[in-house]
Amino acid sequence: MTTSLFTQIRRDLHQIPEPGFQEVKTQKYLLDYLEKLPQDRLEIKTWRTGILVKVAGTNPKRTIAWRTDMDGLPIAEETSYPFRSLHEGYMHACGHDMHMAIALGLLTHFVQQPIADHLLFLFQPAEEGPGGALPMMESEEFALWRPDCIFALHIAPEYPVGHIATKPGILFANTSELYIDLVGKGGHAAFPHKANDMVVAGSHLVTQLQSIISRNIDPLDSAVVTIGKLEGGTKQNIIAEKARLEGTIRTFSTESMALVKARIESLVKGIEAGFDCTASIDYGVGYCQVYNEEKLTTAFMDWVREHGEDVTLIACKEAMTGEDFGYFLQEIPGFLFWLGVHTPYGLHHAKIEPSEEAIEVAIRLVSRYFTWLSQQD
Ligand SMILES: CC(=O)N[C@@H](CCC[C@H](N)C(=O)O)C(=O)O
């Protein structure tokens, strides 16, 4: 079977995953591709490691935007791919390689077959952190081409290829990163009574944090506290002077976010008192929820049911995922939908292998949708 252009592009991008705001090779790859397209309808601007591309419409009433993220994750890849990451310890494990290939496919389609409205393609850095959406929105480049509506997708391992899923209203949660540093008194492993062991303190704290969801959050509400990284100590026979917990908080309301943070602060105070140590908490970067504008999303869902051809629509529930695309949706009407890529491993897993046939499914669906949207008043 021959590999289509955009599948090949996805594979090329898969090999060069880069952290947020360091997407230098990725930006160059995308610019090299864009420069080879016919330029008469195109205007290209770079912003930090991101890119904004305007495709001029034939009789514009508005500007329709499509956003893709660009960054990779600090994960050592374990796929069976012959085109595995060339950047050791980094991987496109959240589908941003697929998202970028789809964006280029759409852009190419509209360069060849322009529609009435202007189109704006946003290649946005740093979705996984520290967040590129907000500073991109605040940039002069964005202000110059500010769109009237905005759309995006995210790959979904759990849905079959040919299926998409979305809903009006809240789709993804509010997020906050969480970093807790504990400092006590280190010492010799054989003299525990002369030290304050931060491995023990940190372990107690991880366990206590689990009680926030089970004991403090209303069972009819939803929230997540995940500690994804726990570090402490230097050697097996040295009592640890320091421990560090790194995690993330997810909630559907700002009230629940405040409650979770207040409980974390109380529990950390308890650890300080109980283990005679000092602690500091840093909430890092937080994202607002992804809230799909109701009218546009409902109209899109109806359109897919009626005109989606080979695409099946799933009306899904909200998820605890975070996405800084939520910031665009706070100011500009639009929505995000899940794209089925059927694979047994989930997002952020070292073995995830999204089905590449979904790339063409997305390009076909969104190019038809934008063409239809551009014909509406
Ligand atoms: C789609 C996706 O997986 N997004 C990330 C966003 C992470 C935001 C931030 N770094 C955090 O960890 O809170 C996710 O983990 O949901």
- Could you tell which of 178, 248, 348 is best to mutate to test the pocket of ligand 1, judged by most ligand atoms within 8 Å of the CB? 248
CA distance 216 to 58: 56
324 close to ligand 1 (CB < 6 Angstrom): no
- The per-residue pLDDT for 134 is 98
pLDDT along the chain (377 residues), means of 10: 89 98 98 97 98 98 98 98 98 98 98 98 97 98 98 98 98 98 98 98 98 96 97 98 98 96 98 98 97 98 95 97 98 98 98 98 98 95
pLDDT score recorded for residue 21:
98
Q: How far apart are CA 255 and CA 253, in angstroms?
A: 5
Q: Measuring from atom 3 of ligand 1, which residue has the nearest CA?
A: 321
pLDDT for position 1 = 61
- What pLDDT shows up at residue 3? 79
Residue 241, token pair as written in the block:
């002077």
Q: Is the pTM of this model over 0.90?
A: yes
Interior/surface letters 79-100, b for 16+ CB within 10 angstroms, e for the rest? beeeeebebeebbbbbbbbbbb
What ipTM does the predicted assembly reach?
0.96
Q: Compute the C-alpha angle 103/105/108, nearest 5°.
A: 105
Kindly state if the Cβ of 177 falls inside 6 Å of ligand 1: yes
- Give the Cα separation of 23 and 16 in Å (integer): 9
> Is position 118 annotated in a ligand binding site?
no
Calpha distance 228→246 (Å, rounded): 6
Q: Is the CB of 181 under 6 A from ligand 1?
A: no
pLDDT in the model for residue 122:
98
Q: 170 with 319: CB under 8 angstroms?
A: no
Instruction: Please name each of the domains of the chain with its CATH number.
Output: 5-171+290-374 (3.40.630.10), 174-286 (3.30.70.360)
